A and B are shown apart, each in its own frame.
Chain A
Amino acid sequence: MTRPYERMGRYIIKRLLTAVALLLVMSFVTFMLMRLTPGNYLDTLRLDPQISKDTLAYYEKLYQLDKPAWQQYLFWLAGLVRGEFGYSFYYNVPVAKIIGSRLGNTFILSFAAFLLTWMLAIPLGIWAALNRGRWGDRVAQFISYIVLSLPGFFVAMVLLFWASTTGWLPLGGMESPGAEDLSLWARSWDMFRHLIIPATALSLGSIAALQKIMRGNMLDVLGRQYILAARARGLPEHRVIYVHALRNAINPMITLLGYEFSALLSGAALMEIITSWPGLGSLMLTAVRSKDIYLVMASMMMGGVLFVIGNLLADIALAKADPRIQIK
């Protein structure tokens, strides 16, 4: 018999190998899409009469734009193995240099929204399930339906409009001008104020959806025989609900948590663009539009890696949480 952690280790290695294959396919498809669509970044430069033909030829050679697409892809891949992400045409710096700070900014926004969502939705779902059919639950479910049918960008615009009329919150961006000179505490507070609108708009829909899922799980579990059996042996009601029902109702949420983690980078893109949050999403939009191919590739790979990690973590967590699930 193999020991559990051995089995787990083998499982993780297997999953990581699959992930590498997945990322290879994903990068290849993205690369080809970028190359096969007409035009490249140098076309913008060609329109500029100040740039000589020699310079253009130099750039073409430097970035392998004169070679066939597959060679260019292999060149990029070889760079990636060496830890080089390539060069951004548009920003005129190595990709690694800009992507790091943008990644951090996106993570701040996504993580704030993520925390807000889970810390509100789970207790709300539990509360709604325990008060099913009472007016509080009905109001919560009614509001959830309304929120669910509102697109996030619309919520963001309404909030921005409200902020512009009241002046209570800053209108987009991540920091006020001159924030670099503030103390750490004042600067954090400033960022927090900038964070409120995008984080709220980003999480509102998720709170409504997740709350409904949690409520449903909880109601499902509360109707199970083992809950009746727990009451029949005289367990205190708080243990019946918060130990037995909750523990079983939360398991399906763990899988969702993995998906949410995967969507941390991509989910915020639209909100970043609307609220001009300097994150990866707005960077990627600029990159795709200007055909800044290496920047696009790096952003895509970030998203892909996070997706793979998120799902793997969720599967491991679920296997730990539910003894009936065996990892192979």
Chain B
Amino acid sequence: MNEAIVSVKNLTLALAESPATLILDDVSLVVPRGSIVGVVGGSGSGKTTLGLAMLGLIPSAMQVKTGKILWEDRDLLMRGPEELRRMRGARVSMSFQEAASAFDPVFTVGDQILEAMAAHNPSAGKLARQKMFDLLSLVEVPDPRRVAANYPHELSGGLRQRAMLALALSAKPSVLIADEPTSSLDVTLQARVMQLFRKLRRDLGLSIVLIAHDLGMVERLADEMVVLSKGCVVGKDHPYARALMSAQEM
């Protein structure tokens, strides 16, 4: 097995105001380089919080009680805010469930991608525009020049989803945390996005953490997965996991 690129070790998160209320309870997760790891759970299971924690974006209402989040063997909880910022986007990035709300509505798609590129590589200069078009082509956006000049609300749902993937990948991260990448899309678009993920892993060597409630989709795509229920990792024979499976079979 490849070495771990990101791993979470026994992470316990609690509400800052009532430390007895656990959001994540002793969660561990390993993402080997170049693999797709699924995190499956219902709403409120803590899967999005886990994704954010892997970026070092722990909501201010929560605090870490125990545990480590390792990026290449260094604990990100021990790093300063500026170091974390420089790693976010460039090492580990995240795409969000609603592409429509992940874009700033008042800037064009292209400007936002260029901005993210410049934040990590200020010297890109003239090459940046071409890189942006290449990136949009990579995520299978037809007519990248037109899409780059559009505002987010002017794009269709499927196109916006792919543009958001380009935005998340703009600083060439090696890990992408994809939060519910397909739940707002119809079935044909879902299949396309899954194809795209396979391609990104193959072509870029991207490691992907796939956060979803749809067990079937994760099973088809992921090399391994964990099931989260109420902030705990549960085994495959746990009643909750079995309920998810049987719901899938119906």
Interface residues of A (CB under 8 A from B): 224-226, 228-237, 239, 243-244, 247-248, 251, 321-324
- Is B85 an interface residue when CB atoms closer than 8 A count as contact? yes
How near does chain B come to A125, taking the closest CB pair, in angstroms?
Answer: 19
A239 to B116, CA, bound (A): 11
Q: Is the CB of B87 within 8 A of A234?
A: yes
Q: A229-B94, A234-B171, A251-B106 given. 9 additional CB < 8 A pairs?
A: A226-B101, A228-B96, A232-B55, A234-B86, A234-B87, A234-B88, A235-B119, A243-B115, A323-B151
Q: Is the CB of B89 within 8 A of A226?
A: no
Q: Is the CB of B119 within 8 A of A239?
A: yes
How near does chain A come to B96, taking the closest CB pair, in angstroms?
Answer: 6
Q: Is the CB of B171 within 8 A of A233?
A: yes
Q: Is the CB of A232 within 8 A of B89?
A: yes
Q: Is the CB of B88 within 8 A of A321?
A: no
Q: Which residue of A lies closest to B113 (CB)?
A: A233
Q: Is the CB of A231 within 8 A of B104?
A: no
Among B52, B104, B116, contact of A234 (Cβ-Cβ < 8 Å): B116
- Is B105 an interface residue when CB atoms closer than 8 A count as contact? yes
- Is B102 an interface residue when CB atoms closer than 8 A count as contact? yes
Among A233, A234, A248, contact of B105 (Cβ-Cβ < 8 Å): A248
Q: Which residue of B lies closest to A251 (CB)?
A: B106
Q: Which residue of B lies closest to A230 (CB)?
A: B104
A226 to B101, CA, bound (A): 6
Q: Is the CB of A225 within 8 A of B98?
A: yes
- Using Cβ atoms and an 8 Å threshold, which residues of chain B touch A244? 104, 107
Q: Which residue of A lies closest to B167 (CB)?
A: A233
Q: Is the CB of A324 within 8 A of B170?
A: no
Q: CB within 8 Å of A: which of B61-105?
A: 81, 85-90, 93-94, 96, 98, 101-105
Q: Is the CB of B96 within 8 A of A229?
A: yes
Q: CB within 8 Å of A: which of B11-45?
A: none
A235 to B86, CA, bound (A): 8
How near does chain A come to B153, taking the closest CB pair, in angstroms?
Answer: 5
Centre residue among A233, A248, A323 by max chain B CB count within 10 A = A233
Among A225, A226, A237, A324, contact of B151 (Cβ-Cβ < 8 Å): A324
Q: CB within 8 Å of A: which of B146-173?
A: 151, 153, 167-168, 170-171
Q: Contacts A233-B168, A234-B119; is A247 near B106 (CB within 8 Å)? A: yes
A235 to B107, CA, bound (A): 15
- Using Cβ atoms and an 8 Å threshold, which residues of chain A touch B94? 229, 232-233
- Using Cβ atoms and an 8 Å threshold, which residues of chain B touch A247? 104, 106-107
- Is B120 an interface residue when CB atoms closer than 8 A count as contact? yes
- Using Cβ atoms and an 8 Å threshold, which residues of chain B touch A248? 104-106
Q: Is the CB of B104 within 8 A of A324?
A: no
- Is B204 an interface residue when CB atoms closer than 8 A count as contact? no
Q: Is the CB of B106 within 8 A of A234?
A: no
Centre residue among A232, A244, A322 by max chain B CB count within 10 A = A232
How near does chain A come to B78, taking the closest CB pair, in angstroms?
Answer: 18
Among B88, B93, B153, contact of A324 (Cβ-Cβ < 8 Å): B153
Q: Is the CB of B90 within 8 A of A234?
A: yes
Among B87, B88, B102, contact of A225 (Cβ-Cβ < 8 Å): B102
Minimum-distance CB pairs A-B, first 9: A234-B89, A234-B88, A233-B89, A225-B101, A229-B102, A323-B151, A232-B94, A233-B116, A226-B104
Q: Which residue of A lies closest to B85 (CB)?
A: A234
A-B contact pairs, 12 of them (CB 8 A): A225-B102, A226-B102, A226-B104, A229-B96, A229-B102, A232-B89, A232-B94, A233-B170, A235-B85, A237-B81, A321-B106, A323-B151
Q: Contacts A225-B102, A226-B104, A228-B57; is A233 near B119 (CB within 8 Å)? A: yes
- Using Cβ atoms and an 8 Å threshold, which residues of chain A touch B102? 225-226, 229
Q: CB within 8 Å of A: which of B106-124?
A: 106-107, 115-116, 119-120
How near does chain A come to B90, taking the closest CB pair, in angstroms?
Answer: 6
Q: Which residue of A lies closest to B87 (CB)?
A: A234
Q: Is the CB of B105 within 8 A of A226?
A: yes
Q: Is the CB of B120 within 8 A of A234?
A: yes
- Using Cβ atoms and an 8 Å threshold, which residues of chain B touch A323? 105-106, 151, 153
Centre residue among A230, A248, A321 by max chain B CB count within 10 A = A230
A235 to B101, CA, bound (A): 17
Centre residue among A234, A236, A248, A251 by max chain B CB count within 10 A = A234
- Using Cβ atoms and an 8 Å threshold, which residues of chain B touch A234? 85-90, 93, 116, 119-120, 171
Q: Contacts A232-B94, A233-B167; is A239 near B115 (CB within 8 Å)? A: yes
- Using Cβ atoms and an 8 Å threshold, which residues of chain B touch A228? 52, 57, 96
A275 to B86, CA, bound (A): 57
- Using Cβ atoms and an 8 Å threshold, which residues of chain B touch A231? 57, 85, 88
Q: Is the CB of A322 within 8 A of B98?
A: no
How near does chain A come to B72, taking the closest CB pair, in angstroms?
Answer: 16
A232 to B103, CA, bound (A): 12
How near does chain B come to A242, taking the closest CB pair, in angstroms?
Answer: 13
A39 to B41, CA, bound (A): 81
Q: Which residue of B lies closest to A248 (CB)?
A: B106
How near does chain B come to A323, taking the closest CB pair, in angstroms?
Answer: 4
